C-alpha cells in the first residue's frame, strides 16, 4: 500500500469515527447530558487529527483549465486520479488557461464533499506576467484580492532592495511563538495578545530546574526587534520590544488564562510551582502582523536567495540567524505585512 493510500485509509477512518460520534452525541444528548462534554472533546481531537493532512505539500502540474477560468485539474504522481481545484484556491497567480496549462504547482489537500481537492495552490514555475498597464488593469478587475501576491513589472529594470531603517542599529531576533503541542491553545488567544501589547514564552525557575529563557530580561533591550514565528505556519508578526521581559503578573495571566488547562490563576500558579516553570512576558509594539491563518513564508515576498530563508529553528529562546540576508528577510516581511 502506497503512502497516499495509507493516508486516504487513515483519513476515512477518522472521518467515519467523527461522524459516528457526532450522530451518537446528537441522539443521546437528551438522556446522557453528563457524557456530552467528553464526546465533544473527542470530536475536537479528531478534527485536529484530520487537520494534519492539510499540512503536507504536494507537487503537480496543471493539465486542465475550464474555458471560463474558474476551475481546473492537477496531475500529481502521488494520486491515481487528477485533483480538482477552484480559482479561489490559487494563492499567487490568476487562473488563466493560456498561462497555466502545463505549469508546475505546489499545493495542500483538503477533503470536501467526500473527495480530495487541492488548496493553497502556488505557482512553482515561470509564468509570464503582463508588462503593460492595460493587461495589469484587466487582472486587477478580475481578481483584486490576489493583486498584491503577483509580481508585475512594466520594464525589466529592478531597483536593489533597501533594508528598512527600522532594522538597522538594533538587534533583530528570531523567536518561536509556541511549542507545536500547544499550537491550538496559543492561536486561540493570538488576538488578545495583539490587543494587550505583549507576547510570552516559557522559562525555567528554581535553583535546580531548567534555566531556559532565564536570561531573556538581560538579552532583549528596548527597541530590539523580534520576528515572531508560528511553527508549521510561518511568520506572524514583527515586534519591537517596549519593556523589560518579566514573569507574568495576575493581569497578564488573566489575558492568557484560557490557553491553560487549569481554570483559575491560583491553579495555574500552583502548576508552575509543581513543575518548576513559569511564563515570561515580553511587552512589545506590534509593528506589523498578519492573520494567524495567513502567515508569511519565502514565497509571499518573492524571495531570491534560494536556501537562505531563515525559519523553523528549534526552541523558544531568542536567537540571531546566521544568514547574511536576515535583515533583508525581516524587512521584506515587514513591508509585506504592512501592505
DSSP 105-172: EEEEEEEETTEEEEEEEEE-S--PPP-SHHHHHHHHHH-GGGGGGS---SSS--PPP---GGGSSS-E
The mean pLDDT value of the chain amounts to: 81
Question: What pLDDT is stored for residue 195 in this prediction?
Answer: 94
In this predicted structure, the answer to whether residue 36 has a pLDDT above a threshold of 70 is no
pTM reported for the whole predicted model = 0.54
Question: What pLDDT is stored for residue 330 in this prediction?
Answer: 96
Report the alpha-carbon distance of residue 227 to residue 122 in Å, rounded.
24
pLDDT in tens, 258-279: 888 888 889 988 888 888 888 8
CB atoms < 10 A from the CB of 220, how many? Answer: 22
Provide the CA 255 distance to its chain's centre, in angstroms: 22
What percentage of the chain reaches a pLDDT higher than 90?
Answer: 34
Report the alpha-carbon distance of residue 331 to residue 116 in Å, rounded.
37
pLDDT in tens, 173-185: 999 998 888 889 9
Amino acid at each position: 500500500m502506497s503512502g497516499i493510500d495509507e493516508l486516504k485509509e487513515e483519513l476515512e477512518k477518522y472521518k467515519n469515527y467523527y461522524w459516528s460520534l457526532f450522530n451518537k452525541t446528537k441522539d443521546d444528548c437528551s438522556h446522557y447530558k453528563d457524557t456530552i462534554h467528553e464526546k465533544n472533546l473527542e470530536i475536537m481531537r479528531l478534527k485536529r487529527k484530520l487537520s494534519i493532512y492539510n499540512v503536507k505539500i504536494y507537487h503537480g502540474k496543471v493539465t486542465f483549465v475550464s474555458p471560463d477560468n474558474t476551475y481546473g485539474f492537477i496531475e500529481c504522481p502521488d494520486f491515481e486520479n487528477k485533483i480538482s481545484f477552484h480559482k479561489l484556491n490559487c494563492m499567487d497567480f490568476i487562473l488563466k488557461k493560456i498561462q497555466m496549462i502545463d505549469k508546475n504547482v505546489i499545493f495542500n489537500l483538503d477533503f470536501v464533499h467526500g473527495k480530495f481537492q487541492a488548496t493553497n495552490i502556488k505557482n512553482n514555475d515561470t509564468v509570464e506576467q503582463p508588462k503593460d498597464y492595460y493587461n495589469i488593469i484587466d487582472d486587477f478587475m478580475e481578481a483584486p484580492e490576489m493583486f498584491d501576491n503577483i509580481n508585475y513589472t512594466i520594464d525589466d529594470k529592478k531597483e536593489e532592495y533597501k533594508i528598512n531603517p527600522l532594522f538597522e542599529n538594533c538587534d533583530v531576533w528570531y523567536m518561536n511563538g509556541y511549542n507545536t503541542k500547544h499550537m491550538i491553545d496559543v492561536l486561540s488567544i493570538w488576538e488578545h495578545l495583539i490587543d494587550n501589547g505583549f507576547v510570552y514564552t516559557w522559562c525555567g525557575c528554581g535553583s535546580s530546574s531548567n534555566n531556559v529563557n532565564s536570561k531573556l530580561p538581560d538579552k532583549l533591550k528596548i527597541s530590539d526587534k523580534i520576528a515572531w514565528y508560528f511553527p508549521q505556519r510561518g511568520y506572524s508578526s514583527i515586534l519591537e520590544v517596549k519593556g523589560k521581559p518579566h514573569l507574568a503578573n495576575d493581569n497578564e495571566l488573566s489575558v492568557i488564562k484560557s490557553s491553560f488547562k487549569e481554570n483559575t490563576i491560583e491553579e495555574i500558579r500552583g502548576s508552575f510551582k509543581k513543575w518548576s516553570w513559569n511564563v515570561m512576558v515580553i511587552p512589545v509594539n506590534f509593528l506589523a502582523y498578519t492573520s494567524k491563518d495567513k502567515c508569511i513564508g519565502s514565497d509571499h515576498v518573492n524571495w531570491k536567495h534560494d536556501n537562505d530563508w531563515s525559519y523553523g529553528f528549534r526552541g523558544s529562546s531568542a536567537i540571531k540567524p546566521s544568514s547574511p540576508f536576515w535583515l533583508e528577510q525581516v524587512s521584506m516581511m515587514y513591508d509585506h505585512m504592512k501592505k
